[in-house]
Structure 1
Amino acid sequence: MTPLRLFILLNPAIGIVFATVFLLLWLNQRNRLHILLMSGASAAFALGVLAQILIPAMPKIGLNTMVSAVLYQTALGLFVEAMLTRVGVVGNRRWILAISAAILGGIAYFFYVQESLSARIYVQNLGAGAMLCFAALRLRTAPTPKPIDRVLFWVVLLTGLHFLPRTVLTMLVDVPAGMITPENFPRSLFYSMLSFALIILALLLCLTFLLAVALDIFEDLRGERNRDHLTPLLNRRGFEEEANRRLVALHGAPASLIFCDIDHFKKINDGHGHAAGDAVIRAVGELIAGELRREDCAGRIGGEEFVILLARGGLEDARALAERLRTRIGALEVAPLAAGALAASFGIAEAGPDEPLDEVMERADERLYRAKRGGRNQVQG
């Protein structure tokens, strides 16, 4: 086996390794279809390289040409679908199928109708580059992009763009030298550079995608750790982490805290049972979550105590929101409580420039207890 052939075999080895890694990962994360798609992409890539190496060239039949082309295109299509499915960008399959059909149709035409190896090289390589650039542009439309998505965008875009200069420059060397023929092709500069580029690009794309999946899983685990088990809000730890992050991001812009405590909650538990108490907490939590803007955050930080960070909102904004919540909580109907049985007290405080979160929380908490001592069902601050 020549050193070049041994070097080329690294490509299917890489594909098989990543196909196995993504498959095992999917078996533990079955709700993430994109991981399974990426496993299929890696497997199709490995099979495509093996088909190109192992299937003998058969003039007029084209088994090597068409089988490897179909497998390469399948790998590319599955990768694009996996990447876009992961970020929630839908409606891609018809475009992937259309581009794939055009590429495979061009390869078939330049084999069976007007035989031209040079034309097939340009169709397959420039087509692959176009599909990756299309995928990168679609990635930019992700509804909630993450920092890793920007990395993935540049990796995929630059991978797609590289196909044009690499293909053109190597063909400028090989065509005059008579290397673009079925007999000389395995010794051509294009084939050597392609084999080397595929190793680098396969590793780069698979590792970047694997990193993105790992970060997604870590973020979900952290979200579960920080999520309150009864309401759609954060727990105390999650709220403090998120509120600190958002206060820093505001760079001194106004922000306020609202503390909320359900009045006479112990009587609800004692008189109607813990199931009724849980239902009240859940209803109030859902009510608060429905009032949040994108830049706000809220958490349940005690049994019946809630806190809201109102980003870019001063004391008057906080007071208006607290009064609205107080009115709406009073109108809640939660079985088996009678209508109008619920009430809540509120304390509000505006954060000073660079004031630590715990100090603002302490002031809002003190005003909440002032509302409790003052007769409940009111806003203080």
Structure 2
Amino acid sequence: MLSNNQLYVLVAPACITVLGGLLGLCWLIQRRSLFLLWTACGLVLTGIGLGWQSIIPKTELSRWAVYTGAIYLSGAWLCTLGVAHKFSVSAFPKISAVVAALVLAILYQNSAVQDSIAVRTLWLNLGLGIIHFLPFPAIVRRQASKDRLEKLLYWSYGLFAIYTMLRPAMVLVLGFTELKDMTVSIYWLVTMLGSLLFSLLFSGLLLIVAMRDAMLTLRDERNHDSLTGLLNRRAFWEAAEKLNREPGTGPISILIGDIDHFKQVNDSWGHEYGDMVLKAVAHAMLENVRGEDLVARFGGEEFVLLLTRSDLEAAEQVAQRIRAKVSASGYVLQPGQGVTMSFGIAALSFEASIPQVVTAADRLLYQAKESGRDQIAVEPLLADAAMA
């Protein structure tokens, strides 16, 4: 039967374990953010370690020191792995393994020979702090320009790692006699509260970041063509209207490109080959535009580009470079005949809207096709044609 004191100190470990379970549940629901799974496992192990050490008799602490140390170190490593995975840095597994092995060896030697809980506490916390801290400098260097939410996430993690390493200093201040009755000591209370507060803060931030990342991913999937990664039709219209309203983006030119005889590509070589051609065309387009320009796949083999601060002459040069890149890609309609593209180009006039200019460019594309394909049809500033 557990005493009231033992039940009281189990509150923090239970909460930490539940938080880990919630993170694991979130990962099971979305199966996207693997860092949630690693962090969840780390928190669960930490909660189990704290709970187990809280209820075993103080006379048994040395006997179980290596086992509880292994649980703590495993939990720290998994939390570190989760954070490192989130920020795309190394978790330094080899160094962590060496630190863990050294700490466990010291715990074993101490529990078997010296039996000093203060020494075990000092070394275990130092090892845990080092494992937690290992990826932190790399995260700071890599994420220096990231948003405030992620900064708060990794700085809270870094501060917890430092807190863990400095926690043994409290033992030196309070004196080693403080640890004689471990589960009712001030040190253990501070450890419990610190671990719980960090777990609450870090889990909350991690969930918020994970939900935001999931929403951004869903929005990205909604706005982009799954094959080429280009904007889809709906996203293009939204972005084009927004760009048109912004000052300093003119002159604006619209290019519509179409792969010549693309049906023949699929019929001759199969749809997998056709997909490779579409990806090559998308790559050629992205290589020849700037970051503020728009590139979209409207469907099938039709592509639309919106070029900011580009007149018709500059737009035609872009189309020529794309045609040359596609022709040099090595993809063929049939032996001896390479893949080519035709373009229609129109400029946005004061009187015309984006949809009207797209319609004008589409008519020009049709003219290029009718004239023998592998051509570019350009029409100068067309207020009249765009309004037709």
What TM-score, normalized by structure 1, do the two folds share?
0.76
1:287 aligned residue (281, 285, 309): 281
1:202 CA drift (Å): 1.3
Contact 1:48 1:72 (C-alpha < 8 Å) held by counterparts: yes
How far apart, CA to CA, are the structure 1 residues paired with 2:183 and 2:143? 45
- Asked if 1:161 is matched to 2:162, the reply is yes
2:35 counterpart of 1:34: yes
In structure 2, C-alpha distance between the alignment counterparts of 1:251 and 1:109, rounded to whole Å: 72
How far the C-alpha of 1:246 sits from its partner, in A, is 8.8
Q: Relative to 1, partners in 2 of residues 1:271 and 1:129: Cα closer, same or farther, differing over 3 Å? A: closer
Q: 1:337 to 1:118 in 2, by over 3 A?
A: same
- 2:206 partner amino acid: F
In structure 2, relative to structure 1, the CA distance for the partners of 1:3 and 1:257 (3 Å cut) is farther
Q: Secondary structure at the match of 1:233?
A: coil
Does 1:193 pair with 2:182? Answer: no
Is the CA contact 1:55–1:63 (under 8 Å) kept in the aligned structure 2?
Answer: no
Q: Quick check: 2:103–2:124 contact (8 Å CA) kept in 1?
A: yes
Q: What is the CA-CA distance between 1:52 and the residue it aligns to?
A: 0.2
Structure 1 unaligned runs (5+)? 353-357
| Counterpart among 234, 254, 261 of residue 257 in structure 2 | 261
Q: Please say if 1:78 is aligned against 2:74.
A: no
Quick one: distance in 2 between partners of 1:308 and 1:143? 32
Q: Which ranges of structure 2 fall in alignment gaps of 5 or more residues?
A: 381-388
Match of residue 208 from structure 2: 211
Q: Distance in 2 between matches of 1:165 and 1:211?
A: 29
Q: Which deviates more, 321-330 or 19-28?
A: 19-28
Displacement of 1:69 in angstroms is: 1.6
Q: Secondary structure at the match of 2:304?
A: strand
CA contact (8 A) 1:261 1:344 kept: yes
Following superposition, the deviation at residue 197 of structure 1 comes to 0.9
Q: Secondary structure at the match of 2:28?
A: helix
Give the aligned partner of residue 133 of structure 1: 133
The one-letter code sitting in structure 1 at the alignment partner of 2:43 is S
In the aligned structure 1, how far is the partner of 2:64 from the partner of 2:94? 27
1:86 is displaced (CA, Å) by 3.4
Determine the structure 1 residue equivalent to 2:63. Answer: 63
Normalization by structure 2: what TM-score? 0.75
Contact 2:16–2:43 (Cα < 8 Å) also in 1: yes
Q: Is the 8 A contact 1:232 1:286 kept in 2?
A: no
1:307 aligned partner: 304
Deviations 1:89-108 (A, max 9, x none): 34632122123223333434
For the pair 1:45 / 2:46, whether they are aligned, the reply is yes
Is 1:99 the counterpart of 2:126 in the alignment? no
CA positional deviation for 1:134 = 2.0
Residues 277-298 of structure 1: CA distance to partner in whole angstroms, max 9, x if unpaired? 9965762443222552583652
Match of 1:355 in 2: none
Counterpart residue number, 1:326: 323
Spell out, residue by residue over 1:192-226, the C-alpha distance to the aligned partner (whole angstroms, 9 max, x if none). Answer: 11111111011122222223332333222222222
Cα distance, 1:229–1:96 mapped onto 2, change above 3 Å: same
Q: State the partner residue of 2:345.
A: 347
Query: Letter of the aligned partner of 2:53 in structure 1?
Result: Q
Contact kept in structure 2, 1:330 and 1:340, CA below 8 Å: yes
Give the letter aligned to residue 125 of structure 1: N
| The 10-residue stretch of structure 1 (65-74 or 366-375) with the greater mean CA deviation from structure 2 | 366-375
Compared CA separation, residues 279 and 91, structure 1 to 2 (3 A) = same
Q: Show CA shifts across 1:59-97 (max 9, x none).
A: 6x8233222221111111011112222343346321221
Farther-moved stretch of structure 1 (80-89 vs 45-54): 80-89
1:322 and 1:379 in contact (8 A); partners too: no
C-alpha distance in 1 between matches for 2:271 and 2:144: 35
RMSD: 4.2
When residues 215 and 101 of structure 1 are mapped into structure 2, their CA distance, relative to the original with a 3 A threshold, is farther
Secondary structure, counterpart of 1:345 in structure 2: strand
Change (3 A) 1:299 1:318: same
Change (3 A) 1:193 1:320: same
In 1, the alpha carbon distance for the partners of 2:152 and 2:242 equals 22
1:10 equivalent in alignment to 2:8: no
User: Is the contact made by 1:284 and 1:329 (CA closer than 8 Å) also made in structure 2?
Assistant: no
C-alpha change, 1:40 and 1:270, in structure 2 (3 Å) is closer
Give 3-state SS (helix, strand or coil) of 2:64's partner. helix
State which drifts further: 255-264 or 151-160: 255-264
Instruction: State the Cα deviation string for residues 174-202 of structure 1 (Å, max 9, x = none).
Output: 21xx643423x333222111111111011
CA 112–262 in structure 1, closer or farther in 2 if over 3 Å, else same: same
Q: Percent identity?
A: 22
Q: 2:359 & 2:55 partners in 1: Cα distance? A: 73
Q: How many residues align?
A: 367
The residue that corresponds to 1:123 in the other structure is: 123
The amino acid across from 1:378 in the alignment is: I
Query: 1:263, 1:343 within 8 Å by CA — same for their partners in 2?
Result: yes
Contact kept, 8 Å, 2:265 with 2:274, in 1: the verdict is no
Q: Secondary structure of the residue that 2:337 maps to in structure 1? A: coil
The offset of 1:24, in angstroms, is 3.1
Using the alignment, how far apart are the partners of 1:131 and 1:6 within structure 2?
30
